[in-house]
Amino acid sequence: MERNNLYPIFLKTSQLKVLIVGGGNVGLEKLTFLLKSSPDANVQLVSLSIMQEIMDFAKTANISIVKEVYDKKYLLGKHMVIACTDDVSINEKVYHDCRESNILVNVADNPPFCDFYMGGIVTKGNVKVAISTNGKSPTTAKRLRQFFEDVIPENIDDMVKNLNEYRKTIKGDFEEKVTALNKVTKSLIDKKKD
């Protein structure tokens, strides 16, 4: 059986500089996905032609729009790049330019040209669950996201905040604190017996 060896991380995109290359439907999708999860993301979008929906979106978020053809100079200072033009050669050029500059890159719909994938995400307050299918099935990730949205209780954020306050009151070393918190949260995974 294959195994997903990706390492999941949660990025503070407000502190990173993200570049999206492409102003069409896929660019809109990637931008929407990013800003839904991280509304304070710091994004620059470069494309010669840009959909009106993206232009409208830019008015309400931290998005810088550049109406030009992609050039390597736009990578300067960037931490992460998403290439999603409808021109395979441009997307691959973005990939190779990023590799030369040690910048994380995702080329839409081209897994071999991706350092990371944008999986399904469920957010309820402070709780965020990310879902990956190793780039093999975005539809499965979408269905799993819908499943987790239904099963994670709406009041999970209240529990997280309460446990954070409780954690501050626990005495002892790290191991003792972990043991105490494990006891309190054990009921989350205990299956009810009929």
pLDDT at 93 (0 to 100)? 98
Q: Is residue 172 situated within a structural domain?
A: yes
- Using only C-alpha atoms, the chain has a radius of gyration, in whole angstroms, of 20
Q: Report how many domains make up the chain.
A: 3
Using the 3D structure, point to which of 99, 118, 137 is the last residue of a domain. Answer: 118
Judge if 164 and 109 occupy the same domain.
no
Question: What distance in Å separates the CA atoms of residue 117 and residue 8, rounded to the nearest whole number?
Answer: 10
pLDDT at 176 (0 to 100)? 78
pLDDT at 193 (0 to 100)? 47
Judge if 82 and 102 occupy the same domain.
yes
Judge if 67 and 123 occupy the same domain.
no
pLDDT at 194 (0 to 100)? 46
Q: pLDDT means per 10 residues in the chain (194 residues)?
A: 88 96 96 92 96 92 94 98 97 98 95 89 90 85 91 87 83 80 75 49
**Site of tokens 């993200």:** 18
Judge if 102 and 170 occupy the same domain.
no
Residues 6+ apart with CB under 8 A from 17: 42, 44, 77, 78, 79, 80
User: Phi-psi category of 69—alpha, beta or left, where left has phi over 0 and alpha has psi -120 to 50?
Assistant: beta
**Is the CA virtual torsion 159, 163, 164, 166 positive or negative?**
positive
Q: Other CB atoms closer than 10 Å to residue 141's CB: what's the count?
A: 21
Judge if 102 and 166 occupy the same domain.
no
Question: What distance in Å separates the CA atoms of residue 128 and residue 131, rounded to the nearest whole number?
Answer: 10
Residue 166 lies in domain = 156-186
Using the 3D structure, point to which of 67, 96, 118 is the last residue of a domain. Answer: 118
Distance of CA 96 to the CA centre of its chain: 22
Q: Is residue 96 situated within a structural domain?
A: yes
Using the 3D structure, point to which of 70, 95, 118 is the last residue of a domain. Answer: 118
Judge if 110 and 139 occupy the same domain.
no
pLDDT at 24 (0 to 100)? 97
Residues 6+ apart with CB under 8 A from 137: none
